[in-house]
Amino acid sequence: MKEELRAIVGDRGLVETAHEREPYEVDWRGQYHGKAAIIVRPATTDEVSRVVQVLSEARIAIVPQGGNTSMCGGATPDGSGTQVIVNLSRMNKVRAVDPNNNTMTVEAGCVLAELQRVANDAGRLFPLSLGAEGSCEIGGNLSTNAGGTGVLRYGNTRELVLGLEVVLPDGRVWEGLRGLRKDNTGYDLKHLFVGAEGTLGIITAAVLKLFPKPRAMATAMAAVDGPAQAVALLGKLRETCGDRITAFEFLPRICVDLVLTHIRGSRDPLPARHPAYVLVELSDNAEIAVANATLEEALGGAVEAGLVRDAALAASEAQRLALWGLRENISEAQKLDGVSIKHDVSVPVSRVPELYERAGKALAEKYPDIRIVAFGHVGDGNIHYNCSKSERQAAEDFFRQGADVNHIVYDVVHALGGSISAEHGLGQLKRDEIKRYKDPLELELMRNIKKTLDPHGIMNPGKVL
Ligand code: FAD
Ligand code: 2HG
Ligand code: ZN
């Protein structure tokens, strides 16, 4: 089989030595260690199509992979040594930028940060932004329907795509690269592949939406008492600033402490310690001085209303990046601090304070030592309700509690009308858990769609369903 694939992709398209293979077979968190039969890196849609055709005929399972930054083991093969990783990173061309249509057509392996740069160079904004943007790829972003820090204003990845090119599980290519904002010619098939986590086909290219580039970004770190004040602050800022609020991220003090401890060069945002913080960003078409004044005035009003304890407004790009560093480095700092149990959950924004209260109380009753590191996209109701082990607990003991800790958190989320996966997907981490919380009818419909598109079950088996 390997030689058949080599004939399609050449020597450069195969990853062969044990040393080179490792980064493809282990996930970002180091929780899943898989073993692939072959790791193949096609460079064109035609190569992907021929590779998939060969594997499909032999009924060999395929694990699509982009930047391999999945938080739920979605891109890691199982340990059987029979699955083939099809990594898309060599498909990294920008095929076209159309400023008048406000779109760009890009290949799946383009790194997100690179696409942000391409948009910027064309005088536009591609607003998808997340901590892994230096290594995650747009095919992975589409396949997970990634969220990140711009969702409040621009929506998640699903809302940023107009067309897709997809290699189907039998190797045929669906040419759906349309750049249309209106197209009601039946079912909108692209949405099946967005968020499918590689279980329905391989995305090879996409038409993405571009937006006007804001002239100024005003950024501040506001200290608050807790989640209730953060939610109230969001309402107040939206009253005065409307859609100009483009990011609204919640950081309890423990997150700031983790970053200060583990990430060199980070600094406390304010002179005193506070229980929690909100990183707020306003994007404006006015001059930066005007944008800063608008945010300052809005936060001043919130201080008077008793919602904000203190605030630091970034006075330069370096200060802005430093504030963002406190937010974007939380995952890395938590990883450096030791093992964690992650919960990427969402509830209606209005119920975020209840989530903190109820899950916090339930966990403290049963696991008084557990450290709750719950932060994130409060403006979307999406909280990373993570738990870290206490210093004196052994990692194995902590993980043994994992299923019970999951249920405590997920039961609260479910009771609040929430979701157990807001933006990272199910992967293999939540494949079984979802059965407890999702409507059986919805799961049945999902299985039927899977059977129709992938009758032999070769696309990323063991993930999602
Ligand atoms: P991979 O990890 O390679 O794959 C993810 C899934 O997509 C897998 O199921 C894989 O099989 C499938 N896949 C990949 N490429 C394709 C393709 N071309 N066709 C079909 N299927 C494919 N996520 C967020 O949503 N918001 C965040 O704020 C965020 N922050 C993060 C911060 C850090 C530090 C890290 C490490 C991760 C973060 N993530 C976040 C999670 C992760 O970055 C996203 O899920 C991202 O979209 C994955 O992209 P990737 O290219 O790494 O995909
Ligand atoms: C973020 O918002 C990412 O920073 C990662 O989605 C969250 O580490 C996590 O749990
Ligand atoms: Zn997130």
pLDDT at position 269, please?
Answer: 97
* HEC per residue, 377-438: EHHHCEEEEEEECCCCCCHHHHHHCHHHHHHHHHHHHHHCCCECCCCCCCCCCCCCCHHHHC
- Written as six digits, the tokens of 172 are 């045929």
Output the pTM of the full model.
Answer: 0.97
Q: What CATH number did the domain enclosing 432 receive?
A: 3.30.70.2740
Ligand 1 nearest-atom number relative to CA 87: 15
**81 inside domain:** yes
Per residue in 274-292, pLDDT (tens digit) is: 999 999 999 999 999 999 9
Q: What number is the average pLDDT over the span 201-225?
A: 98
Please check whether residues 357 and 425 belong to one and the same domain: yes
Ligand 1 nearest-atom number relative to CA 28: 36
Q: Ligand 1, residues 32, 136, 340: which to mutate, most atoms within 8 A of Cβ?
A: 136
Give percent of the chain with pLDDT exceeding 90: 98
CB count in 10 Å sphere of residue 286: 16
Please check whether residues 423 and 386 belong to one and the same domain: yes
**143 inside domain:** yes
Q: What CATH number did the domain enclosing 305 receive?
A: 3.30.70.2190
- The ligand that comes nearest to the alpha carbon of residue 164 is 1
Residue 328 has pLDDT above 90, yes or no: yes
pLDDT at position 358, please?
Answer: 98
Q: If you take atom 18 of ligand 1, which residue's CA is the nearest one?
A: 139
Per residue in 405-450, pLDDT (tens digit) is: 999 999 999 999 999 999 999 999 999 999 999 999 999 999 999 9
Per residue in 288-322, pLDDT (tens digit) is: 999 999 999 999 999 999 999 999 999 999 999 99
Q: If you take atom 2 of ligand 2, which residue's CA is the nearest one?
A: 376
Please check whether residues 235 and 313 belong to one and the same domain: yes
How many residues belong to the chain?
Answer: 465
Bridge partners for 382 per DSSP: 346, 377
- CA-CA distances (angstroms) from residue 191 to 123, 144, 149, 198, 251? 28, 12, 21, 13, 32
Give which of 27, 109, 35 is closest to 71, Cα–Cα: 27
Ligand 1 nearest-atom number relative to CA 463: 9
Q: How far apart are alpha carbons 402 and 392 in whole angstroms?
A: 17
Segments forming the whole domain that contains residue 232: 216-331
What average pLDDT does the structure give for the chain? 97
Residue 208 has pLDDT above 90, yes or no: yes
Q: If you take atom 6 of ligand 2, which residue's CA is the nearest one?
A: 148
Please check whether residues 376 and 324 belong to one and the same domain: no
Give which of 74, 62, 87, 89 is closest to 197, Cα–Cα: 74
Ligand 3 centroid from CA 151, angstroms: 10
Please check whether residues 208 and 220 belong to one and the same domain: no
Pairing of strands 276-284, 245-252: antiparallel
Please check whether residues 258 and 367 belong to one and the same domain: no
**465 inside domain:** no
- Overall number of domains in the chain: 4
Mapped onto helix, strand or coil, the DSSP state of residue 12 is: helix
Is there a contact between 59 and 458 (Cβ–Cβ < 8 Å)?
A: yes
Q: How far apart are alpha carbons 102 and 96 in whole angstroms?
A: 11
Ligand 2 centroid from CA 355, angstroms: 17
Show which of 87, 113, 143 is a domain's final residue: 87
Please check whether residues 111 and 147 belong to one and the same domain: yes
Per residue in 87-143, pLDDT (tens digit) is: 999 999 999 999 999 999 999 999 999 999 999 999 999 999 999 999 999 999 999
**127 inside domain:** yes
Q: Ligand 1, residues 110, 143, 194, 459: which to mutate, most atoms within 8 A of Cβ?
A: 143
Residue 59 has pLDDT above 90, yes or no: yes
Give percent of the chain with pLDDT exceeding 70: 100
**259 inside domain:** yes
Ligand 1 nearest-atom number relative to CA 149: 28
pLDDT at position 390, please?
Answer: 85
Ligand 1 nearest-atom number relative to CA 137: 51
pLDDT at position 391, please?
Answer: 83
pLDDT at position 113, please?
Answer: 98
Please list, in sequence order, all residues whose beta carbon lies within 8 angstroms of the beta carbon of residue 144, skipping any fewer than 6 positions away.
70, 74, 157, 195, 197, 423, 424, 425
Residues with CB under 6 A from ligand 1: 28, 63-71, 74-75, 88, 108, 130-132, 136-137, 139-141, 143-144, 146-148, 197-198, 202-203, 331, 423-424, 427, 460, 463
* HEC per residue, 259-321: HHHHCCCCCCCCCCCCCEEEEEEEEECCCHHHHHHHHHHHHHHHHHCCCCCEEEECCCHHHHH
pLDDT at position 392, please?
Answer: 84
Residue 257 has pLDDT above 90, yes or no: yes
Give which of 250, 236, 371 is closest to 295, Cα–Cα: 236
- The ligand that comes nearest to the alpha carbon of residue 147 is 1
Q: Ligand 2, residues 259, 332, 384: which to mutate, most atoms within 8 A of Cβ?
A: 384
Ligand 2 nearest-atom number relative to CA 327: 4
Per residue in 70-101, pLDDT (tens digit) is: 999 999 999 999 999 999 999 999 999 999 99
pLDDT at position 123, please?
Answer: 97
Please check whether residues 427 and 378 belong to one and the same domain: yes
**453 inside domain:** no
Q: What number is the average pLDDT over the span 262-280?
A: 98
- Written as six digits, the tokens of 336 are 């450096």
Q: What number is the average pLDDT over the span 253-276?
A: 98
**448 inside domain:** no
Q: What CATH number did the domain enclosing 49 receive?
A: 3.30.43.10
Ligand 2 centroid from CA 449, angstroms: 30
Q: How far apart are alpha carbons 309 and 450 in whole angstroms?
A: 51
Q: What are phi and psi of 286, to 5 degrees?
A: -85, 175
pLDDT at position 119, please?
Answer: 98
Pairing of strands 94-98, 173-176: unpaired
Q: Where residue 357 falls among pLDDT bands split at 50, 70, 90? A: very high
Q: What number is the average pLDDT over the span 264-281?
A: 98
Residues with CB under 6 A from ligand 2: 131, 330-331, 342, 376, 384, 386
